[in-house]
Amino acid sequence: MNKKTLHSIIAIAAILAAAWILNGILDSYVRRVLNLCAIYAIISLSLNLVNGFTGMFSLGQAGFMAIGAYTVAIFTVPVELRAAGFYLEPMNPLIAGIELPLLAALILGGLLSATFAFIIGFPVLRLRGDYLAIATLGFSEIIRIIFTNTQSITNGALGIKNVPALSNMFFIYLAAIITIVFMRLLISSSYGRAFKAIREDEIVAEAMGINLFKHKIMSFVISAFFAGIGGGLYGALLGTVDPKNFMFTLTYNFVLIIVLGGLGSISGTVIASFIITIGMEWLRFFDDELVLFGFKVPIFRPGLRMVVFSVLLMVIVLFFQKGLMGQKELSFDMLRQAAARVKGLPLFKNGRRKGE
């Protein structure tokens, strides 16, 4: 076994062990925030696969999340609790009696989301740039509108409550790690190289014999699958699923994450997911009143947090277009070099000094 693989396996095991242990120690608020970080990482990775690695601009993630979240919500609410929620119109008898374990519902949600992506992919992926962005955004809104109107399946605007709450860190981090590993393997495979070629230049890629449409739809479908899984986890974490949760503004969170992390960097995306999610929680003090030396500071009131958040997004887009990582990946070598630099040791490692 290669040394790098060994290191990766040790790191993964360490993270999972940490998640297992922390699950028992942390209070529910911190655990919820950390879980949200991992779920956001899954969804952002799925978005980065399409936007960062394949170079298509999709804004449909909220819709795919909705499919996953609703699948989990519909099938995991205990059968006896369903009548209480569906009081306007009873649940469709075809699905009213089916109850699935969370894992099965998650995978089903991912598959449904992927199927939907496959169907819309045929017309949509012929479009480029802005048009693709608008069309995917349109489809994500259409999904939300459909879910708002299918009263007997999704309970319409009332939403589905009593979804068995998921707060097991180990389970969520396992899902996140599976996603990360899968993305890493996919990107370093020949498919991943084809995606990147399409990102750099479609015409050249086609000339090199890459089947554009096949690879685009593949990237799109895989992305939708993981967005569905992420959405399912998100729904289970919240405990209620409501069409208003899946407005397309939700997608903007993930756009911010992948831009901050670097379009086309897996590790950047994961790091940015943690920074943004924890940062958003930390920024909550902007929404509270602030009293300094006995004076109330007038600008601190509800809503300021989102203003700061959007200003940050603009600053990143305008001044740090490459994000944290650009298209690079965090590796053990990079960490070792960073550690060496911190200690002030000259880097003789590669036989030459910096600048030589």
Q: Which residues bind other proteins (CB under 8 A)?
A: 51, 55, 57, 59, 123-124, 126-127, 129-131, 133-135, 137-139, 141-142, 145-146, 148-149, 203, 249, 252, 255, 259, 263, 301-304, 306-307, 309-311, 313-314, 317-318, 321
Q: For tokens 């909705």, what's the residue?
A: 66
Q: Which is nearer to other proteins, 76 or 253 (CB)?
A: 253
- Nearest distance, CB of residue 253 and other proteins, angstroms: 10
Q: Which is nearer to other proteins, 130 or 356 (CB)?
A: 130
The answer to whether residues 162 and 78 touch, using CB atoms and an 8 Å cutoff, is yes
- Nearest distance, CB of residue 244 and other proteins, angstroms: 11
Q: Which is nearer to other proteins, 106 or 205 (CB)?
A: 205
Cα distance between residue 216 and residue 322, in whole Å: 23
Note the Cα 21 to chain centre separation in Å.
24
- Nearest distance, CB of residue 355 and other proteins, angstroms: 30
Burial classification of residue 97, based on how many CB atoms lie within 10 Å of its CB (0-12 exposed, 13-18 middle, 19 or more buried): exposed
Q: What does the DSSP assignment read for 275-323? A: HHHHHHHHGGGGGS-EEETTEEETT-STTHHHHHHHHHHHHHHHH-TTT
The answer to whether residues 57 and 51 touch, using CB atoms and an 8 Å cutoff, is yes
- Nearest distance, CB of residue 230 and other proteins, angstroms: 20
Q: Which is nearer to other proteins, 120 or 180 (CB)?
A: 120
Q: Among 146, 136, 141, which residue's Cα sits nearest to residue 223? A: 136
Beta 295-297 vs 290-292: how paired, if at all?
Answer: antiparallel
- Nearest distance, CB of residue 34 and other proteins, angstroms: 26
- Nearest distance, CB of residue 199 and other proteins, angstroms: 10
Q: Among 4, 162, 181, 174, which residue's Cα sits nearest to residue 91? A: 162
Cα distance between residue 304 and residue 77, in whole Å: 36
Q: Which is nearer to other proteins, 99 or 206 (CB)?
A: 206
Is residue 4 classed as helix, strand or coil in its secondary structure? Answer: helix
Q: For tokens 């993305």, what's the residue?
A: 183
Q: Where would I find the H helices in 189-265?
A: 190-200, 202-207, 212-238, 249-261
Q: Which is nearer to other proteins, 35 or 46 (CB)?
A: 46
Q: Which is nearer to other proteins, 152 or 162 (CB)?
A: 152
- Nearest distance, CB of residue 190 and other proteins, angstroms: 25
Q: Which is nearer to other proteins, 94 or 203 (CB)?
A: 203
- Nearest distance, CB of residue 307 and other proteins, angstroms: 5
